[in-house]
Amino acid sequence: MPTDPVHHVTEKAATQEHSQGNGLPTATSQSPETLKDVCDSLHRRIQAFLSKKFSVEDRLHSVQQQTRTSLDIIAQALDRYSLESLSLSYNGGKDCLVLLIIYLAALSTRHPLNPPSDSPKSHPHTNSPPHSPFPPLLQSVYIQPPHPFPDVDAFVATSSATYNLELSHYSLPMRDAFEVYLQDKPKIRAILVGTRRTDPHGGQLGHFAETDGRWPRFMRVHPVIDWHYAEIWAFIRHLEIPYCPLYDMGYTSLGGTTDTHPNPALRVKGEDGVEVVGEGAFRPAYELVMDEEERLGRDW
């Protein structure tokens, strides 16, 4: 276990956000919004999406169903855990981005909360009040890969500012990072994670899964576990959520610079069948459809 981990907490950046006509926050230094403002804006946006009618054959119909399920899982988490004991694992990738947006939308109507199951009514020795004001920032943790993409780090920084995240940043192996994070934040009991069933070790996970083995103890909450790859992108694009620019360069699953490459399934070929090189050599990530092809650009 490293004794001197590299970590810090990124407070909300000086660049804040405001809402455009589509209800989504965008960067500006003129009109800062609170976390509650952002949550309310995203809640209205998602409710408008859920109220629309799509045919059963339309992918957005299944996205609506997945969104409702995710909102329900997050509501269950908020029934069990106070915001003081709940965190979000955020690395700027597409899956945890969808999770973040839905989490923020859910908070619009769920906080201030009735006392959750881990409130003083259940645990009288805690210091948490039964009703707490809406926090200025949302607890989250970023575990950086060994060789991070500058584009990913930049997107994590700007999006965490946009969405009012209090981001604890660790450059450690994942298990060690979570161990140090829980030492730094001893009240955390559950962490929302953007794992999907097609991810490594995701196949057998449920919506709530406590860590086991040598991992530090906390409840992993998986609101997007059953989403398909194409549904993730349908949600992001329909709601016009800004995302990491690497996805427009053919990357479909983001790790570090030494193990992540543009997805060969998105390679562009000219009319003569020869692969295009340089700019435009790969189609954007959202044009991929099959779950099993998502990680073709990863070395593991």
Q: Which amino acid is at 135?
A: P
Amino acid 210: pLDDT: 94
Amino acid 201: pLDDT: 75
Alpha-carbon gap, residue 293 to 18, rounded angstroms: 37
Beta bridge partners of 142: 169
SS3 of 229-280? HHHHHHHHHHCCCCCCHHHHHCCCCCCCCCCECCCHHHECECCCCCECCCCC
Amino acid 6: pLDDT: 40
Amino acid 18: pLDDT: 33
- CA 236 to chain centroid: 12
Amino acid 75: pLDDT: 94
Amino acid 276: pLDDT: 82
Q: What secondary structure letter does DSSP report for 134?
A: P
The helix/strand/coil state of 107 is: helix
CA of 212: how far to CAs of 89, 96, 216, 220, in Å? Answer: 18, 22, 8, 11
Amino acid 244: pLDDT: 98
The structure tokens 């189609």 sit at: 283
Alpha-carbon gap, residue 165 to 11, rounded angstroms: 7
Amino acid 198: pLDDT: 83
The structure tokens 């809402």 sit at: 19
Q: Going residue by residue through the chain (300 aa), what tens digit of pLDDT does each one get?
A: 443 334 444 434 333 333 333 444 444 334 468 999 999 999 999 999 999 999 999 999 999 999 999 999 999 999 999 999 999 999 999 999 999 999 999 999 876 544 455 555 544 434 443 445 688 999 999 999 999 999 999 999 999 999 999 999 999 999 999 999 999 999 999 999 999 998 777 667 889 999 998 999 999 999 999 999 999 999 999 999 999 999 999 999 999 999 999 999 999 988 777 788 888 899 999 999 999 999 999 876
Residue 231 has φ and ψ, to the nearest 5°, of -70, -35
DSSP H or E run through 86: strand 86-89
Amino acid 176: pLDDT: 96
Torsion of the alpha carbons at 258, 5, 137 and 103, rounded to the nearest 10? 50
Amino acid 299: pLDDT: 79
- Inter-residue contact 224 to 196 (CB < 8 Å): yes
Q: Model pTM greater than 0.75?
A: yes
CA of 197: how far to CAs of 91, 146, 297, in Å? Answer: 18, 24, 18
C-alpha radius of gyration, the chain, whole number:
19
